[in-house]
Each structure stands twice: as C-alpha cells, then as structure tokens.
Amino acid sequence: MKEYLSLIKFSHTIFALPFALIGFFLGSHEVGISFSWELFLFILLCMVFARSAAMAFNRYLDRDIDERNPRTIQREIPAGIISPKSALLFVILNAVLFIFTTWLINPLCFYLSPVALLIILGYSYTKRFTFLCHFVLGLGLSLAPIGAYLAVGGGFDLIPILYAFAVLFWVSGFDIIYALQDEEFDKSLELHSIPVALGKKNALKLSTILHLLCGGFILFASYQLNLKYPEFGNLNWLAATIFTALLFYQHTLVKPNDLSKVNLAFFTTNGLASIIFGSLVILDLFF
C-alpha cells in the first residue's frame, strides 16, 4: 500500500480537494439540504479514485521516459518496485470504482464520468504532441468544484464555474514552474512543454500571468458569493487575500537561473494555499 500511495503521490490530492469541498458545501446551501455524510464520503472517494487512476496512468505511460530521466529514475515503476502490469491494473480498478461511485451519487454525475476520465487520463499523452499539456492538467483539476456542486443537485452555477477557472489557471501556472526542472531533458526527447517552447524566463512570465488570472477569478468569486449570499461574512475575502498572496510568494522562490526551491514553491506553498483557502471559505458558509 505504501508503494502505491507513493506511486500516485497521494498527498498531492490536497491541491484540488478543498475546491471540491467548497463545491459540495455551496451546492448543499443552494438546494437547502442538510449535511449528508454519505454524499460527502462519495465525493471524497470520487476525488481519490479519479486522481489515483490519472496519476498511476501517467506513471505507467511515462515509465520509459522516467527510466531515462535522472530526476525520476527512482520512481516505483522504473525502480522495479511496482510492475507496469500491476500499475495498469491499479488504473483500471480506480477508474471502475470512480464510475461506480458516480452512479451512487446521481445520474448526471454518472453520465459525465467518462468525460472526466477522458480528460484526466488523456493528459498523460499531451506532452508528446503539444506544449499546452499544462492547461489540460489544469482542466482536469478544475472539474473538482463543478463536479462536487453537481453531486448535490445544484446544477450548473456561476460561482463553482468561477472557482473552476481559478483552478485551471492556478494549476497550469504551477505546473509550468514544476516543468522548468526538465527543460533540457524534454528537449532531448522532443517532448513538449511551455519551458521547452518559451525558455525558462518567458515560461515564468507566463506562469505569473496565469496566476494573475487565477487571483482575479478568486476575487470575483468572493464578490459573487457576497452578492448572492449577503448573510455570509468576510472570511471568504480573507481566504482570497491569503491564497493570492501565497500564489505570488512562490514566484519569489523560483528564478530562471535558480530552481533549487521549486519543490517548496510547488508542493508546500500551493498545498498551504489550498488548505487555508478551502477551510476559510467553508467556515464562512457555516458561520
């Protein structure tokens, strides 16, 4: 189990999970239903199963690439800890469990589940033919707030869509930062990424622009929250401020000629931003 949790980087589920929970609680408030532990559990399981399938598939598909990259050669498949066949079976199991769990939620989520899987699994192919791969990853995670909102019967609404756009630009931006580490390696294998296409300096500039867009959508979503639900307090504004500040703090950590703090920017800063933001917004919904 430890090896499989490492394979899928289970701890990274924290990036999109708070936004899914915001979608869940917003949807519950919108349709006026009381808190359901059963539905809450189903949404958590959907997040875990979908991300596990996507991450394991990425590791399976990239096993030959990872074996040639000094940065990734110790990953579970190239290191021989988990076999490619076992990894693929793990992908199939999680995909089936994801679809089954959406069936337990409601028909709409069930019907849309193959679309979600197509996006999150398809991402793993994209760096082989387009530098827009970062945006496909962002699109996959951006489904979290909309999917959770739909799970409670909230339908389609502006606020979860605003959060989805925020996640799209946020994830795309920090994935570009993470990809800076493999610029030269990706060039050698003719793989595609924003750093390969634009170079480190311009890639960081684009990442900053994407995070500016993310901050804009976060702030606009806070405005819409207070406009639609005047009874809410100001914690969502505090959440938006802290999230945006941490967003730009990571850009002070990474320079084109100094990538030593990429992991701090990618994992720690973004993880903290997501947890703090989700916690404060959900507290605002309740108090």
Q: How many residues does the chain have?
A: 287
Give the whole-angstrom CA distance, residue 34 versus residue 44.
Answer: 18
> Each residue of 166-177: b (16+ CB within 10 Å) or e?
bbbbbbbbbbbb
C-alpha distances out from residue 267 to 9, 14, 171, 246, Å: 11, 10, 12, 12
pLDDT of residue 89: 96
Domain residue extents for the chain: 2-286
Tell me how far apart the terminal alpha carbons of the chain are, to the nearest angstrom: 39
190: left (phi over 0), alpha (psi -120 to 50) or beta: left
Contact 202, 249 (CB under 8 A): no
Q: Is 243 helix (H, G, I), strand (E, B) or coil?
A: helix
Quick count: other Cβ atoms within 10 Å of Cβ 245? 11
At the top level of CATH, the class of 2-286 is mainly alpha
Residue type, 93: L
DSSP 118-165: HHHHHHHHHTTT-TTHHHHHHHHHHHHHHHHHHHTT--S-HHHHHHHH
pLDDT of residue 7: 63
Give the whole-angstrom CA distance, residue 23 versus residue 144.
Answer: 8
* Sequential pLDDT tens for the chain (287 residues): 667 666 666 556 778 899 999 999 998 888 877 788 999 999 999 999 999 999 999 999 999 999 999 999 998 899 899 999 999 999 999 999 999 999 999 999 999 999 999 999 999 999 999 999 999 999 999 999 999 999 997 678 899 999 999 999 999 999 999 999 999 999 999 999 999 999 999 999 999 999 999 999 999 999 999 898 887 778 989 999 999 999 989 999 998 888 888 887 777 888 899 999 999 999 988 76
pLDDT of residue 229: 84
